[in-house]
Amino acid sequence: MSADYDVIVIGAGPGGYVAAIKAAQLGLKTACVEKWVDEQSKVVLGGTCLNTGCIPSKALLDSSHKYMETVKHFDAHGIKVGKVELDVPAMIERKAKVVKQLTGGIGGLFKANGVTSIIGKGKLLKGNKVEVTATDGSKQTLSATNVILAAGSVPVEIPPTPLQDDVIVDSTGALEFQSVPKRLGVIGAGVIGLELGSVWSRLGSEVVVLEAVDAFLPTVDQQIAREAKKILTKQGLDIRLGAKVTGSKVSKGKAPKVTVQYTDSEGNKEEVFDKLIVCVGRKPYTAALLADDCGVSKDERGFIKVDDHCATGVPGVYAVGDLVRGPMLAHKASEEGVMVAENIAGHKASMNYGLIPAVIYTHPEIASVGKTEEQLKAEGVEYKTGVFPFAASGRALAADDADGMVKIIADAKTDRVVGCHIIGPSAADLLQTVALGMEFSTSAEDIGMTVFSHPALCEAVHEAALAVNGHAIHIANRKKR
Ligand code: FAD
Ligand code: AMP
């Protein structure tokens, strides 16, 4: 008997919905099971990314950046504004509208591509069957030739700071504050902590970031990380490294406050905040996803075990995105979804895990792809670097947005670009030009020989590439040709 579907995808985040659309485009009969519903019991597509992650956080980062520009920077451009007022509920409402527009768009794409959307909680059973439990508790079992698990991740909670109403919140709660907390604590100086800390700091909160580890952004190229710490501190974030949170207490009353205990090199300390955001990482979400005898296994950290092609070891069962090893990033999830769909359709697709860009959307943005200097040193690879500060970019100065730098790292012998790290305006977009080149094995000389528009921020990429070999024009070269 033939299966109900060629492909059933469990989860409609960027890993799952992209896999489903791609599979359908390739002519496979495809269904996508999603458990997230709204107040009207209508399915909510898009997962963490669209609903509580990438998109709403960027909406608030953009709104708060506009506010900060108006309050702090317009004057320098000769623009006088009267009293600037903040309407936080309107800001949160705008963010919700952006989310709704995008999640609704996925429903449209499902229809256009012929993906069947099924509401309910999916569970993988033995023999590539999927049990779907609907919101009313009723169950149906569907069979599929292939199943793609794309159930994503959830925030990690830590015992010292259990979530409490809207006083101790996770990243999702921090996207919903209806007023600006006077004093805000953030636990964790990772990507999410810095982005959400920046949002509320720009809107006027006094923000203290408590980070257990001594190093700042330890996986980022350390020259860039040092610059980031300097700039974010200047913007008002009080970043305390080596500060491990050990306990918390929420006071009673109408306006409760939270006292947070932490230890650092000097001993035990306390801080009192109006709100506390816990941003200590995310973990794969596998609750009730796998029947005991389905054959799929997890590693010691709870990630579903897969190979380089996201195959689980059970024939026809794949897992993608935050459920599996690798960076928890939406574009990594969606590229895995595409790769899996293509391989199911009989293509020979693979993915370059060495070239996944990563961005922190503070202002300035912090963007990286490829190897850091620290990684190359540890691997014993000889390299050369070229750095160009935005302070020497005509366009950045014209915009009054000249903090940061572009850094390009190339192999010392071959000149092939092996890493690019940018802190600066539009770093995410600038980085992508270099990532594209790296995908085609560009050398620093190749980028140097390319004609760049003037005046544009991307000239900083051009000059950093020229600087790798001592040929920069608009800064003094460290090395002479
Ligand atoms: P998810 O997006 O988590 O989607 C999983 C889906 O599966 C969910 O809809 C869930 O309801 C559903 N599901 C789970 N279990 C079941 C089940 N049993 N049955 C049916 N459905 C199920 N990444 C970036 O690349 N850039 C960013 O700027 C960025 N910003 C972020 C900001 C924040 C605040 C957060 C929290 C995350 C951010 N991320 C960002 C990370 C990004 O959101 C995730 O990496 C991405 O969403 C992972 O995609 P996914 O498809 O694996 O899982
Ligand atoms: P990320 O994994 O990038 O989201 O970052 C989470 C950060 O939270 C990491 O840098 C952790 O070191 C930090 N962290 C985890 N637990 C604690 C804790 N108890 N106190 C302070 N920081 C913590």
Nearest CA to ligand 2 atom 3: 190
pLDDT digit string, tens, across residues 443-468: 999 999 999 999 999 999 999 999 99
What is the reported pLDDT for 478?
Answer: 75
Q: How is 360-395 classified by DSSP, letter by letter?
A: E-SSSEEEEEE--HHHHHHHT--EEEEEEEGGG-HH
Residues framing ligand 1 (Cβ under 6 A): 10-16, 33-36, 47-49, 52-54, 57, 121-122, 150-153, 171, 192, 285, 289, 321-322, 328-331, 333, 361
Q: Which residue, judged by its Cα, is nearest atom 26 of ligand 1?
A: 54
Domain 364-468, what architecture?
A: 2-Layer Sandwich (3.30)
Check residue 251 and report its DSSP letter.
P
- Average pLDDT in the 5-9 region? 98
Minimum-distance ligand 1 atom for the alpha carbon of 44: 9
**Confidence check: pLDDT of 481 > 70:** no
Between CA 233 and CA 148, with CA 357 as vertex, the angle to 5 degrees is: 125
- Ligand 2 mean position, distance from CA 418 (Å): 29
Ligand 2 in contact with 58 (CB < 6 A)? no
Question: Taking every pair of C-alpha atoms in the chain, what is the biggest distance, in angstroms?
Answer: 74
- Looking at the DSSP bridge assignments, the partners of residue 32 are 9, 117
Residues in a beta bridge with 209:
186, 239
CB distance 427 to 364 below 8 Å: yes
Angle at 177 between CA 287 and CA 160, to 5 degrees: 55
Which of 154, 194, 211 most suits a substitution to test ligand 2, by most atoms within 8 Å of the C-beta? 211
Rounded Cα distance between 262 and 356, Å, is 35
Q: Which CATH number fits domain 5-155+283-353: 1.10.3720.10, 3.50.50.60, 3.60.10.10, 3.40.50.2300?
A: 3.50.50.60
Residue 480 has pLDDT above 60, yes or no: no
Measure 161 CA to ligand 2 centroid, in angstroms: 12
3-class DSSP assignment, residue 69 = helix
- What is the structure's pLDDT at 479? 61
- 């300097």: which residue's tokens? 230
Which DSSP helix (H) or strand (E) runs through 408?
strand 405-411
| Cα(226) to centroid(ligand 1), Å | 30
Q: Is the CB of 208 under 6 A from ligand 2?
A: no
Which residues belong to the active site?
A: 454
Query: Which fold is adopted by the domain 168-280?
Result: FAD/NAD(P)-binding domain (3.50.50)
* Structural domain boundaries in the chain: 5-155+283-353, 168-280, 364-468
Q: Taking Cα atoms as reference points, which of 101, 89, 109, 95 lies closest to residue 52? A: 95
pTM of the prediction? Answer: 0.97
Instruction: Tell me which amino acid residue 356 is.
Output: I
- Among candidate residues 238, 275, 278, the one with its CA nearest the CA of residue 258: 275
Please tell me the distance from the alpha carbon of residue 28 to that of residue 425, in angstroms, as a whole number: 42
Residue having the nearest C-alpha atom to atom 37 of ligand 1:
53
Strands of the sheet with 267-273, listed across from one edge: 244-250, 258-264, 267-273
In whole angstroms, give the CA distance from residue 19 to residue 12: 9
pLDDT digits (tens, 9 = 90+) for 45-89: 999 999 999 999 999 999 999 999 999 999 999 999 999 999 999
Distance CA 295, CA 434 (A): 41
* Per-residue burial over 19-38, b = 16 or more CB atoms within 10 Å of its CB, e = otherwise: bbbbbbbbebbbbbbbbbee
* Average confidence score pLDDT of the chain: 97
> For the residues 164-176, what does the mean pLDDT come to?
97
Is 187's C-beta closer than 6 angstroms to any atom of ligand 2? yes
Q: How far apart are the CA of 118 and the centre of ligand 2, in A?
A: 36
Which value, in Å, is the radius of gyration of the alpha carbons in the chain? 24
**How do residues 264-278 score in pLDDT, each as one tens digit?**
999 999 999 999 999
Residue 48 CB contacts under 8 Å (≥ 6 apart), including other chains: 13, 152, 153, 322
CA-closest candidate to residue 236, choices 268, 189, 200: 200
In angstroms, rounded to a whole number, what is the distance separating the alpha carbons of residues 106 and 186?
A: 33
Shared fold status for 5-155+283-353 and 168-280 = yes
Query: pLDDT tens across 87-130, in order?
Result: 999 999 999 999 999 999 999 999 999 999 999 999 999 999 99
Q: Are the C-beta atoms of residues 110 and 45 closer than 8 Å to each other?
A: yes
User: What ligand is nearest to the CA atom of residue 356?
Assistant: 1
| 479, two tokens | 């090395």
Three-class SS state of 481: coil
Q: Other CB atoms closer than 10 Å to residue 435's CB: what's the count?
A: 20
Question: What's the burial of 446, exposed, middle or buried (CB within 10 Å: 0-12/13-18/19+)?
Answer: middle
269's CB contacts (< 8 A; 6+ apart) are 243, 261, 262, 263
CA of 24 to the centre of ligand 1 (A): 21
Q: Which of 18, 42, 49, when mutated, tests ligand 1's pocket best, judged by the most ligand atoms within 8 Å of its CB?
A: 49
